Amino acid sequence: MARVGWESEAAAEPRATLIDVAGLWRILVKQAGVIGLGFALALVAGAAVTLLTRPIYTAGATLQIDREAEKVVSSEEQTPLDNLSEEFFQTQYGLLRSRALAVRVAESLNLTRDESFIDTLAGKPRAAAARPMTTDERRNEVITLLQTHEGVTPERGSRLVAVTFSSPSPALSAKIANAFAENFIGAALDRRFESSSYARDFLEKRLAQVKSKLEESERDLVAYAASEQIIQLPTGGQRNNAPETGPSLASANLESFNTALAAAKTERIKAEQKWLQARAAGGSGLTEILQSPTFQILSQEHAKLVAEYQDKLRVFKPDYPAMTQLKARIDETDRQLNLEAENIRQSLRTQYEAALANEKALAGQVNGLKSDVLDLRGRSIRYTILQREVDTNRTLYDGLLQRYKEVGVAGGVSSNNISIIDRAEPPLLPSRPRPLLNMALAALAGLLLGVMMAVVREALDQAIRHPADVESVADLPLLGSIPLLKKPLEPREALADTRSHMAEAYHSLRSALQFSTVDGFPKTLMVTSPWPGVGKTTTAFAIAQYVARLGFRVLLIDGDLRNPSLRDLVGAEGGLGLSSLLTGGALLKEAVQPTTFPNLFVVTAGPLAPNPAELLAGSRLQLLVAEATSLFDMVVFDGPPVMGLADAPMIGSVVAGCLLAVESGRTTRAQVRQSLRRMSLAGAHMLGTVLTKYKSNRASYGYGYGYGYGYGYGDPYSYGHDAGVENSKPKPGGLAGVVAQARRLISR
């Protein structure tokens, strides 16, 4: 069919954007419940997070960093170092965030030994840890927590810097914030002291002389120890590079071997006692035998076999084959038990012999080391004298070095360009969580989540729910939308009331059918559906009834030979019907029954046939249609469902047009496509679709397919402006018709 447009491309282009926005609005309104659910869940989650989050208190100290100008020459000429540059302040901020400063804070507050500090900041008790922390791990954890919870915020346009610290404890936050400020000043002073060179030449020279003397005395001591083979072991608190002052190697070896000998004697005594007990004990009374897993398993197996033998002995004699086998298993278990007991005794004997040999070997080593220690004492006299000389030189060197450091510290005390303006005080209110901000973010996230859920649900929803869904899937004009009746109202009652919504909708459908072909109403029409229960019978009856009201003679035929339902709807009698006509058992005039509606006649399905497909496949159906069209102005078939049956395509191939009924909310897009494909393969001419059981209360956001199409209720048979067709496609009138026609043109 040719496409005729009633608006230009220029006008249609902006309309497409509006329709896309309207489609999005339709989805949002349709999925309002899902959006509300997402919004509510996000609010509940936000409230839960806010209530369950630990309060965090932030305390801050304010520092002032001033200009620093140093004298770098001894004359009156001075070179001021402009430290107010951006690089200088960025360096200071980096120092405030440095790991070195965090280490100073941890050491000054002794946080590495505070068991509760990590628990407080990390939010997890140490008792739940897999293993205790080592000293280095605890130190690293403390430093990491300090750096993580510290904040450095410079005030723009000033020399002030706020150093903050956040923790669950207000007092702890203030304490650590002040510690950061104080240690930052101390670190700055230390760096200045280390870089200064105030008149320390004398101490440096003296230190060099004493150091040389100390090294010489240490070399003499080491040389004598090497020549005399005197080896002193280092002590735990000994300094690096210092001669060993601990016990000699021989003494240490003697002590070690003597300790090992005592332990070996103890082990030998224990092993000997166990062997004596094993040798004296008979049977399996030894503790090691009873505790053996293998012996326990064998004992359980033996007891089980004995119990089974005693139980079967009540029924069978001892020489019965099964009893003989069972007795053999019991004997084998006894043998294994005795063997396991003997193995354990031999193991105890072997342990005793090994312990005895070990004791003898250690005793020989101890006797040899005793003579070595006595010989070493005679050769250690000179070594002791040299050791005293080394100690004297080292004491002198340490004293000069300490004095050297004190002079350096005293020289830089008066120079400091960093000061504390405001010390940190314990905060009264927590800085986190922030309920209003959390709830605002939760609300925003809930809206986004709800919209995403709505879009995803709409994309996954394959059911036909709205008129626009039908046209987008079927690529056929939607000739009408039939509302869902409210119980207990029946379709026949609603159709009888010309002012009802259903009656108005079928009036519009009748008008659309009148313009669906160039000759007006199709001479033969079949109403079908993908599945039963869609409302095709009511639709076929309504179309036949309302066309008959226009003065046309209409024949309504129940074409569903498997599950007929038209007879009850129109109140016709049983007997002869379509099956009788197809089998040649009756003439058309004999099967036609008048109804209570003027100009409307009906042919029921007739007796149920065992092979409806074979009846419809014959030539009698075409002859019946030809005869009916010669006697009536219009023939309407209440056809069978399309899916799963061959009946509907057969009827559709002989009628002039077909109408597919689609149930809102139940029929899926795949079912519509499959139904149209089957009808197309059979050569059926599809005029359009009709949406049944449509819930109009969900269409407030509008498609232009409502039930009031712009015509009044004064003449129930009026159809002049309620629907129209342009080039064989219906076009609703009024604003609804404009929107519907625009959607079809844009979709093309």
Domain ranges of the chain: 57-196+412-422, 249-379, 467-747
Residue 522: asked if its preceding bond is cis (omega within 30°), the reply is no
User: Tokens standing for 626?
Assistant: 């030809």
Task: Supply the pLDDT for residue 260.
Answer: 80
How would you class 382 by CB atoms within 10 Å of its CB: exposed for 0-12, middle for 13-18, buried for 19 or more? middle
* Highest CATH level, class, for 467-747: alpha beta
What is the model's pLDDT at position 126? 53
Q: What pLDDT is recorded for position 727? A: 33
Residue keyed to tokens 């046209």: 471
Question: Please, which residues bridge with residue 533 across strands?
Answer: none
State the Cα–Cα distance between residues 95 and 99, nearest whole angstrom.
Answer: 8
Q: How much is the pLDDT for 742?
A: 40
The rounded distance, in Å, linking the Cα atoms of 480 and 660 is 11
Q: Are 659 and 687 in contact (CB under 8 A)?
A: yes
CB-side neighbour CA atoms (13 Å) of 357:
6
Please, are residues 57 and 170 in contact by the beta-carbon 8 Å criterion? yes
- 284 near 290, Cβ under 8 Å? yes
For tokens 């197809």, the residue is 582
Distance CA 232, CA 384 (A): 11
pLDDT at 642: 92
The helix-helix angle for 201-227 and 381-411 (nearest 10°) equals: 160
Vertex 717, ends 715 and 721: CA angle to 5°? 80
Consecutive H or E run containing 143 = helix 135-149
Residues 6+ apart with CB under 8 A from 503: 494, 495, 496, 497, 716
DSSP-derived pairing of the beta strands 418-422 and 160-167:
unpaired
Q: Please list the alpha-helical segments (H only) found in 609-668.
A: 612-617, 620-631, 647-652
What was the pLDDT predicted at 449?
Answer: 85
Spell out the SS3 assignment of 192-203.
HHHHCCCCCHHH
- Quick check: 275 and 348 in contact, CB under 8 A? yes
Counting every residue written for the chain, the total comes to 748
CA distance 624 to 578: 9
Tell me, what's the pLDDT at 78? 41
Q: Report whether 577 contacts 607 (CB < 8 A).
A: yes
Q: Determine contact, residues 545/592, Cβ cutoff 8 Å.
A: no
Strands 686-694 and 478-483: parallel
Give yes or no for a contact between 59 and 424, defined as CB atoms under 8 angstroms apart: yes
Tokens 């105030």 belong to 198
Q: In this structure, how many other beta carbons lie within 10 angstroms of the beta carbon of residue 399?
A: 11
Residue 495 structure tokens: 């159709």
**Cβ atoms < 10 Å from Cβ of 374:** 10
pLDDT digits (tens, 9 = 90+) for 209-232: 888 888 888 887 787 777 766 766
Residue 326, CA distances (Å) to 51, 299, 306, 340, 425 in order:
71, 16, 9, 21, 87
Contact assessment for residue 135 and residue 24, using Cβ atoms and an 8 Å cutoff: no
pTM above 0.85, yes or no: no
CB 659 within 8 Å of CB 676: no
pLDDT of residue 248: 64
Q: How far apart are CA 687 and CA 656, in angstroms?
A: 9
Classify 59 as helix, strand or coil. Answer: strand
- Long-range CB contact pairs, 379-388, < 8 A, 24+: 379/228, 379/230, 380/230, 380/248, 382/224, 382/228, 383/221, 383/224, 383/225, 383/228, 383/230, 386/217, 386/220, 386/221, 386/224, 387/221, 387/243, 387/245
Residue 288 tokens, joined: 């090691």
Work out whether strand 686-694 and strand 657-663 pair parallel, antiparallel, or are unpaired.
parallel
Q: Which two tokens stand for residue 331?
A: 């004997």
d(CA 610, CA 561): 9
509 and 479 in contact (C-beta within 8 Å)? yes
CB burial of residue 319 (10 Å; 0-12, 13-18, 19+):
exposed
Low pLDDT (below 70) residues in the chain = 1-20, 22-23, 67-84, 123-131, 193-201, 228-229, 231-251, 254, 275-292, 295, 341-342, 368-379, 407-415, 461, 696-748
User: What is d(CA 266, CA 355) in angstroms, rounded to the nearest whole number?
Assistant: 9
CA angle (76, 80, 81) in 5-degree steps: 145
The Cα 34–Cα 22 span in angstroms is 19
Residue 433 preceded by cis peptide, ω within 30: yes
Residue type present at position 134: T
DSSP reduced 3-state for 359: helix
pLDDT for res 722: 32
Contact (Cβ atoms closer than 8 angstroms) between residue 417 and residue 88: no
Structure tokens at 634: 């219009």
Centre a 10 Å sphere on the Cβ of residue 677 and count the other Cβ atoms it contains. 11
Per-residue pLDDT at 103:
92
